[in-house]
Amino acid sequence: MAVSDSDLIRAWEQVLSLSGLKEGQMVTVLTSDATHPQTLRCAVAAASARGACVSRLDLSAVNAEKSLSRDPLAYLGTTPLTGNRPAIAALKASDYVLDLMTLLFSPEQHDILSSGTRILLAVEPPEVLVRMVPTRADKERVAAAARLFEGKRTMRIRSAAGTDLTCAVGQYPVVQEYGLVDQPGRWDHWPSGFILTWPDEGGSHGTVVLDRGDILLPQKCYVQEPVKLRVEAGYVRSIEGGLDAELLRDYVESFGDPEAYALSHIGWGLQKRARWSTLGLYDREASIGMDARAFDGNFLWSMGPNNEVGGSRTTACHIDIPMRKCTVMLDDLVVVREGRVCDELLVQGAAA
């Protein structure tokens, strides 16, 4: 069902309030031709009502000659900010950037964040934003999950379908996504609600078996038959199976980049208001699939870059794969059991 402007403005007001927006601060709304008009007008209304000085920076789309999809995450690295010094200067001078365009995995984004600017990405349909408007409880749940990583050196993932993957961790930071930019220099995504890190370089080995109902993004499709991926020294070395495997293989091959096969972030979903089934209810171009990335108890892993957390690997290809019914362990501690988050650990972590 459609969302009223008043509901979406209230959602924006909650996000901006919890993110600490104050009267007189500078807000730049980053837009493109694909920006949702209701999201834009409600964001401007909410920020203006809080007394912020609001500007809009509209940039042209890029990568059309390279990307195989209209999805903004289907080709990374080059953005409308690449080489655009005046636009970068405007964003660095802002206290907040509301990204309604999708600026990800780029040196320009890191440069802007290093100035203390906060960047909030919000590109899902308005009804998805309202259903998963972030709360303090979301932040506390994700923070409790982050504490489970303390002192841990391995993440192991198993499933009845045949997944048995071990990843060394600790080289890269643990990233918390809960939908609020409540600290200077913070980036986040509304909606979200998950925990992730990146494996140590060369430290991932084993087998991943995608089962029926697991999800491929940016393809935004449910796997229909098993796909077996063999992982050695941090890279996917083979993709075997039927049509789904062929389609995935062809997509990754199209980038002509061996770094596209590297394991990127790994973690699990913690958002109880996100639903695994929602992907089937939207046109593929209407959503980037945040329900799929965030639904409670998924194992979310990816292939592609690690420069977002200080690594040196950049590639235009980025595949996100949310999986169901997996058991996830940090060392010997089971944090997700057969697709269900071990909530008692989060309660203990919140109390610590």
pLDDT of residue 286: 87
pLDDT of residue 65: 72
Is residue 28 domain-shared with residue 170, that is, in the same domain?
no
- Between the CA of residue 327 and those of 73, 106, 158, 252, what are the distances in Å? 28, 33, 5, 27
pTM above 0.85, yes or no: yes
Total domain count, the chain? 2
Provide the greatest CA pair distance for the chain: 57
Is residue 229 domain-shared with residue 214, that is, in the same domain?
yes
In the chain, where does DSSP find H-type helix? 5-18, 37-49, 85-92, 107-114, 126-131, 136-147, 243-253, 290-294, 343-351
Is residue 126 domain-shared with residue 59, that is, in the same domain?
yes
Report the candidate in 262, 257, 260, 226 with the shortest Cα–Cα distance to residue 244: 226
Length of the chain: 352
- Between the CA of residue 178 and those of 135, 175, 307, what are the distances in Å? 8, 10, 21
Q: Which residue has the tokens 């229909």?
A: 224
pLDDT of residue 284: 85
Judging by DSSP bridges, how do beta strands 194-197 and 263-269 pair with one another? antiparallel
Among the candidates 81, 115, 131, a domain finishes at 131
- Give the domain CATH number at 92: 3.40.50.2300
Is residue 180 domain-shared with residue 101, that is, in the same domain?
no
Is residue 192 domain-shared with residue 301, that is, in the same domain?
yes
Among the candidates 82, 114, 131, a domain finishes at 131
Is residue 123 domain-shared with residue 19, that is, in the same domain?
yes
Tens-digit pLDDT string for the chain (352 aa): 689 999 999 999 999 999 999 999 999 999 998 899 999 999 999 999 999 999 999 998 776 676 777 777 777 767 888 889 999 999 999 999 999 998 877 888 889 999 999 999 999 999 999 999 999 999 999 999 999 999 999 999 999 999 999 999 999 999 999 999 999 999 999 999 999 999 999 999 999 999 999 999 999 999 999 999 999 999 999 999 999 999 999 999 999 999 999 999 999 999 999 999 999 898 888 899 999 999 999 999 999 988 888 888 888 899 999 999 999 999 999 999 999 999 999 987 555 5
Is residue 154 domain-shared with residue 246, that is, in the same domain?
yes
Structure tokens at 254: 């199209």
Is residue 148 domain-shared with residue 275, that is, in the same domain?
yes
Judging by DSSP bridges, how do beta strands 154-159 and 175-177 pair with one another? unpaired
Is residue 93 domain-shared with residue 146, that is, in the same domain?
no
Is residue 153 domain-shared with residue 114, that is, in the same domain?
no
Please classify residue 137 by burial: count the beta carbons closer than 10 Å to its beta carbon, then call 0-12 exposed, 13-18 middle and 19+ buried: exposed
pLDDT of residue 352: 56
Judging by DSSP bridges, how do beta strands 215-216 and 333-337 pair with one another? unpaired
Are 153 and 170 spatial neighbours (Cβ–Cβ below 8 Å)? yes
Is residue 300 domain-shared with residue 205, that is, in the same domain?
yes
What is the C-alpha separation between 44 and 57, in angstroms, rounded? 12
Among the candidates 131, 160, 190, a domain finishes at 131
Which residue segment(s) compose the domain that 120 sits in?
Answer: 5-131
Is residue 312 domain-shared with residue 167, that is, in the same domain?
yes
In 134-287, where does DSSP find H-type helix? 136-147, 243-253
What is the C-alpha separation between 254 and 96, in angstroms, rounded? 36
